[in-house]
């Protein structure tokens, strides 16, 4: 198992030692449990824009596939200099 060094204040270290003693476990076990609990308390990941806008898809009338309409796409992507 990899080892990680953590710097903390004397007050934090005293709290950690006290918590480990009360639980009759190691300081490392207390820190690992606290780290695991971080994900449980975190807000869920935001949904993608596609998921959030799903109710809007197909709600607007408009032209179909513009790539099939060659007159509409005439000159598209060409430089504007003349």
pLDDT (0 to 100) of residue 21? 97
CB 6 within 8 A of CB 31: yes
* Structure token pair of residue 22: 């009360």
CA distance 20 to 29: 8
Domain assignment present for 75: no
CB 25 within 8 A of CB 33: no
Q: How many domains does the chain have?
A: 1
66 sits in the region (left: phi over 0; alpha: psi -120 to 50; else beta) called alpha
Domain assignment present for 70: no
pLDDT in tens, the chain (82 residues): 899 999 999 999 999 999 999 999 999 999 999 998 887 767 777 889 888 888 888 777 766 666 666 666 677 777 776 5
Give the structural domain span for 34: 10-58
Domain assignment present for 74: no
Q: Please state whether the predicted TM-score (pTM) of the whole model is above 0.85.
A: no
């Amino acid at each position: 198992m990899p080892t990680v060094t953590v710097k903390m204040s004397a007050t934090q270290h005293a709290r950690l030692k006290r918590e480990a003693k009360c639980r009759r476990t190691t300081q490392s076990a207390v820190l690992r449990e606290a780290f695991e609990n971080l994900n449980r308390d975190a807000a869920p990941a935001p949904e993608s824009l596609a998921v959030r806008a799903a109710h809007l898809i197909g709600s607007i009338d408009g032209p179909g596939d513009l790539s099939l309409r060659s007159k509409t796409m005439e000159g598209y992507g060409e430089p504007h200099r003349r």
